[in-house]
Amino acid sequence: MDINITDIMLHIDEDLDKASRDQMESHMRGQDGVISLGYHDDKPHLMLVAYNPECITTKDILASVTTQGLHAELIGL
């Protein structure tokens, strides 16, 4: 079975500590279509999300972040 995977980077405006990033990661992994995500320790404002575009859109991914009370923007890759 082939799975279509693409990725998007989000810039999160707020300063998130490690615990907050871990909590956001757990929340995002619970979204249908999100395959993986990660942060870079040197750039904690950037979140890379790998997802299946047949199951979730970039608009849905952004909304999932903003419903957690954060401000974020999509950054094209």
Cβ(76)–Cβ(62) below 8 Å: no
- The mean pLDDT of 27-47, rounded to a whole number, is 90
The CA distance from 2 to 17, in Å, is: 36
Nearest-angstrom CA–CA distance, 18 and 9: 18
How does the average pLDDT of the chain come out, rounded?
91
DSSP bridge partners of 49: 8, 37
Q: If pLDDT is split at 50, 70 and 90, which confidence band does 41 have?
A: confident
* Predicted pLDDT of residue 63: 95
pTM score, two decimals?
0.87
Q: What is the pLDDT of residue 29?
A: 92
What are the structural domains, with CATH classification, of the chain? 6-75 (3.30.70.100)
Q: Which two tokens mark 69?
A: 């009370």
Backbone angles phi, psi at 32, to 5 degrees: -60, 130
Q: Which amino acid is at 54?
A: E
